[in-house]
Structure 1
């Protein structure tokens, strides 16, 4: 598992001649930091990192709210058609994202009253080439609701009964009781969502064509043209991957705890 990362970091310190040499060496014969300075000299990396951090932070925060609300409703609230709705929602996990890309793109393009569109969604570009277009379809999903539902099923029914006796509404029960008890779940889902958004390449490639709206994954494509500059690409990939590695190391305890306890109904 570590070998690809070792090769990536090692290649980022090699020269182009050493990478293309007939003899392979795992470690660079001559250590050079020129690749890293060259990476930041090509492209608007400050802007691209800012875009990625902004989109990732907003999507993660909104996703934690929406998905945990959906999971709470399916796990703790009794309403007619709950199981049927949950089953229909879970069908979304069986549909590959590639199949929904074109319909979602059309919805983004015809979003009413945005990008010059009229109230019926015609006449403009909608949310294309906007931060909203990059984020809106990531706010909620079947997997996030399922993960939260399975975690909330672990709590005993007496917790809801005690909250009702104290006069708590479902909203107050959710915000004051369940959310404070769900730190492992929220940390787990946040790590998964941050990783997903930080590594997102296909959707930004489809929805934006302005350099100022690119994220770091699209930024790496500046080193992939007619000739692939592997030493620069590996240096750029190392820089882009470093924040996620640090995040996982810091949140590893919550991540493992959340994964272990999710799905165990007590």
Structure 2
């Protein structure tokens, strides 16, 4: 009875909040269908007079968008795959294995959550620039560019993260100890226990990290701007600057390109939504 009492007002509140969050997306789509004359009109025009996809066609003709999308898809895919592997193994180790210094190492990893990424950008840039035997560098990391202006430079800083390790650790702490005992009785090593027992049961947390890492990597603007210096290495976020110059912003083309860029993330979230919510809930049950 108590739950029914609050269901209607809570549902109404959620509906209003959903509309508020959808308004910017709706305006973006509508703007992508307008002409520059309609956008710059003194009186706001909500719905364009003539709906046309011309803006989308012309926007994609500015620059090599097939290359930009490939770069973003490739960087995002590799980042997500390697992140799942590294974070799940680290989370499993902190949650289920017992070794000296485990809690201290986990505490050190959590410190990364407290450091703003802007603080580490210059140190990470210098590390990537001086990677030995990469990008023309000698074995001391001198003489070349290292991983600057390369896929490795775009991927490496994001393949591991404190938040992903934390999520997996919290998720694996919820598993009963009987699983490990049964695995030992069957003669499974820690590696086989992780691979054959824990990984198949980890769909919710895997889906959660896929959504989070894909969103982070796909939407990243500042780091690609710093670490790349050629058009062939541009990601889709950097390519949006094609529609802006010193005097004006071509809002119709910019909104059309932005709409296309948002679609892959929407598809990822729609497919991962069920497991995403489940993973967030279950990873926070036990500390």
TM-score bracket for the superposition, by shorter chain length? over 0.9
CA root-mean-square deviation: 1.0
Report Cα offsets for 1:74-101 as digits up to 9, x if no partner: 0000011111111111011000000000
Q: 1:162 aligned to 2:182?
A: yes
Partner of 2:264: 243
Q: SS state of the match for residue 239, structure 2?
A: helix
Q: How far apart are the structure 1 equivalents of 2:255 and 2:161? A: 32
The partner residue of 2:159 within 128, 136, 139 is: 139
Q: How far apart are the structure 2 equivalents of 1:209 and 1:172? A: 43
Partner of 2:255: 234
Q: 1:186 aligned to 2:202?
A: no
Do 1:15 and 1:32's aligned partners in 2 also have CA atoms closer than 8 Å? no
Q: How far apart are the structure 2 equivalents of 1:182 and 1:246? A: 21
Deviation at 1:149, TM superposition (A): 0.4
Partner of 1:265: 286
Matches within 5 A, 1:172-183: 172-183=192-203
Partner of 1:114: 134
Do 1:199 and 1:217's aligned partners in 2 also have CA atoms closer than 8 Å? yes
The list of structure 1 runs, each at least 4 consecutive aligned residues, that deviate by more than 6 angstroms after superposition, is none
Deviation at 1:257, TM superposition (A): 1.1
Matches within 5 A, 1:1-266: 1-226=21-246, 227-265=248-286
Deviation at 1:133, TM superposition (A): 0.7
TM-score (norm. length: structure 2): 0.91
Do 1:191 and 1:255's aligned partners in 2 also have CA atoms closer than 8 Å? yes
Q: How far apart are the structure 2 equivalents of 1:122 and 1:89? A: 30
Q: SS state of the match for residue 76, structure 2?
A: helix
Deviation at 1:32, TM superposition (A): 2.2
Q: How far apart are the structure 1 equivalents of 2:197 and 2:47? A: 53
Deviation at 1:246, TM superposition (A): 1.7
Report Cα offsets for 1:162-192 as digits up to 9, x if no partner: 1111111000000000000001110110111
Do 1:11 and 1:19's aligned partners in 2 also have CA atoms closer than 8 Å? yes
Deviation at 1:26, TM superposition (A): 2.1
Q: How far apart are the structure 2 equivalents of 1:234 and 1:161? A: 56
TM-score (norm. length: structure 1): 0.98
Consecutive unaligned residues in structure 2, runs of 5 or more = 1-20
Q: How far apart are the structure 2 equivalents of 1:133 and 1:34? A: 36
Deviation at 1:233, TM superposition (A): 0.4
Consecutive unaligned residues in structure 1, runs of 5 or more = none
Q: How far apart are the structure 1 equivalents of 2:47 and 2:97? A: 57
Report Cα offsets for 1:10-48 as digits up to 9, x if no partner: 000000011011111222122122111111110100011
Partner of 2:14: none
Q: How far apart are the structure 1 equivalents of 2:46 and 2:192? A: 57
